[in-house]
Amino acid sequence: MSRSRMFLKKPKRLKIPRSIRMLRTYWNGEPAECRKVRVRMGPAEPTWWCAGMEGQIREAVRVDYRGDVFYIDNEGIPKSDGHINPGDGWLKVTLGMGAPGYRHASISICVELDHRDRPVGGGEDPFLPHPENCTGCLHCKVA
């Protein structure tokens, strides 16, 4: 093949893996901005599935719908608490279009963390477990 003909060939189409393509996300069938995040759990009512998990870091989905921001679990919960599989939070907002037919587990109070497990936007992490004799953080100095 001549050199000039080589450049006239149509380039091959690149295949972009599904995992990195932009997925549309929804809540209640309407478009919503959703993304996977990590959160530190806050206190919860004793009857909630997440009672007693304060201070734990979990995978979650941040849902921004009509100006309200809330979080749903994406790590899965045990069968005794309703059995949500790992990844079900993300499936709900993508394939399930946020429909009520797809189960989810809401997270009552939490702090969104960055890639270093620090609160997004800086500041203190109110749900960070503290050692008994801590005097270095803002919460322990006030208490």
**Maximum distance among all alpha carbons in the chain?**
80
Instruction: Look up the pTM and report it.
Output: 0.71
Terminal Cα-to-Cα distance of the chain (whole angstroms): 80
Integer angstrom CA distances of residue 78 from 38, 75, 105, 129: 19, 10, 11, 23
Q: What is the pLDDT of residue 119?
A: 79
**Model confidence pLDDT, tens digit, residues 78-117:** 766 667 788 899 999 998 999 988 888 899 888 888 777 7
Show the tokens assigned to 33. 């901005």
Q: For residue 72, count other CB atoms closer than 10 A to its CB.
A: 22
pLDDT (0 to 100) of residue 54: 87
pLDDT in tens, 15-57: 655 554 567 899 999 999 999 999 999 888 888 888 888 888 9
| Paired sense of beta strands 30-31 and 33-41, if any | unpaired
Please give the structure tokens belonging to residue 105.
């587990």
